Amino acid sequence: MRETPPGPNGTDRGQTLPDFAVGIAIFLLTISFVVTFVPQLALPYEEQEQPTVAERIANDLGKNLLAEEGMPSMLNESRTLSFFEAELEADRLGVDPKYSVNVTLRDAPSNAPESAVLCEDESGESITDCSDGSKLAAGPSVPQEDRSVSTARMGVFTGGIDAVLEVRVW
């Protein structure tokens, strides 16, 4: 029977301390990676994020629900006026009721401090710049102190007026 020769330092050990340390380090890094990133992979399916919700509502309203047939971004005035007259509820827009939503139709450009909210004219049949009449805003007032409000804007046209459909979610 033939004996195996001893290792370089005179022992028959096949594993050294540096091998063990490298193996443990790789194992711990792998566990850390899994614990950190796997829960985030499932997060989009668990809850909606506010910016995504605001963008989806703005696109759905501006291109489908309030738009003329076959003409996205061209608002149908009668649909638009009836939308703003009804009570706005988050579940009516296909959004989880835990979100508060405010939809406003503003004169373009809407990010200017003096941007005016458009109004329904006195006859109740068309959209116009505000003088008298009801403002085209639906939903609860946006909290002034809360920084977690997400805003999405979409340029739209209605009756010769360039407007911006502004959706705020918090």
**Which residue in 150, 161, 143, 167 sits closest to 88, CA to CA?**
167
Q: How far apart are CA 53 and CA 74, in angstroms?
A: 22
Give the per-residue pLDDT at 77: 83
pLDDT of residue 31: 95
CB 80 within 8 A of CB 64: no
Tell me the domain boundaries of the chain.
15-46, 50-169
Reported pTM = 0.63
Q: Residue for token digits 């509820």?
A: 89
pLDDT for the residue 12: 61
Number of Cβ atoms within 10 Å of the Cβ of 48: 15
C-alpha span between 55 and 60 (Å, rounded): 8
Contact predicate 93/126, CB 8 Å: no
10-residue averages of pLDDT along the chain (170 residues): 59 76 96 84 62 88 86 84 81 82 81 71 68 75 78 85 86
By the 8 A CB rule, do 115 and 61 touch?
no
> 10 Å Cβ neighbour count for 50?
17
- Is the CB of residue 69 less than 8 Å from the CB of residue 112? no
- CA-wise closest residue to 79 among 51, 52, 105: 105
Q: What is the dihedral of CA 110, 112, 113, 119, to 10 degrees?
A: -30
For residue 26, the model assigns a pLDDT of 97
